[in-house]
Amino acid sequence: MREFILLSLKGKTSPDFNLEDLPGAGRIDLVCRTVSNILFISNALRRDTIVHISLNGPKSPPKMITFNGDELKGVEPDERSIATVIKTALKHSANLQQDEEKEVSPGVFISNKSFERLVKEKSKRCQLIYLHPKGEDIREAKFEENFLVIFGDYIGLPKNTEKLIERLGAKKISIGPIMLFASHCPVIIHNELDRRLQ
């Protein structure tokens, strides 16, 4: 299973954001492009792929929204469609219990889980990878069958988060010499792995 988690430090956690101003909602536009690039391919979805979005902006952080490519239905790849799904999920999150995860539409789940908690849980079951300019070249790097790629949005990963994931044994990988948008990185990772499966 290919899993990704995007840490969005400013992405809104209440549904009162404006679909006409996604950058103003803590860069939800970037979150949406990332989800789109992770899950969608030409005329299909990547069924072997899951993406988790950790939102930590106002008004009720943290929120974790998970998109499971194997179950997803009725979601289109454009920013506004994905933002609408996020908004709907946040509307369903008002009365979530502490450990509850609610399925809000096929393949879309929301919970109050923190970024740190999800990463810790996953570290017991799969390889942790994070993107870093000084990491091992992706073309040389070994990927295990089940992995979780950890990355930040335009703010990147805070120092203490980097320390946490290093303690958990995460492997640093570099995807190239130029600092790309978060939304570009999964395209390159998928491409590398698709080539290996040829």
Interacting residue ranges for a copy of itself, rule: CB under 8 A: 19-20, 22-23, 29-30, 33, 36-37, 40-43, 76-81, 154, 175-181, 183-184, 187-188, 190-191, 194-195, 197-198
In the bound state with a copy of itself, the residue whose beta carbon lies nearer, of 20 and 145, is 20
In the bound state with a copy of itself, the residue whose beta carbon lies nearer, of 127 and 183, is 183
In the bound state with a copy of itself, the residue whose beta carbon lies nearer, of 82 and 170, is 82
Q: How far is the CB of 194 from a copy of itself (least distance, A)?
A: 5
Q: How far is the CB of 70 from a copy of itself (least distance, A)?
A: 16
Q: How far is the CB of 111 from a copy of itself (least distance, A)?
A: 27
The C-alpha atoms of residue 193 and residue 198 are separated, in whole angstroms, by 9
The C-alpha atoms of residue 22 and residue 7 are separated, in whole angstroms, by 17
Q: How far is the CB of 85 from a copy of itself (least distance, A)?
A: 14
CB count within 10 Å of CB 81 equals 14
Q: At 91, is the secondary structure helix, strand, or coil?
A: helix
In the bound state with a copy of itself, the residue whose beta carbon lies nearer, of 74 and 101, is 74
The C-alpha atoms of residue 171 and residue 131 are separated, in whole angstroms, by 8
- Extended beta strands in the chain, E state: 2-8, 40-41, 44-45, 49-55, 63-68, 101-105, 108-111, 127-137, 147-152, 171-174
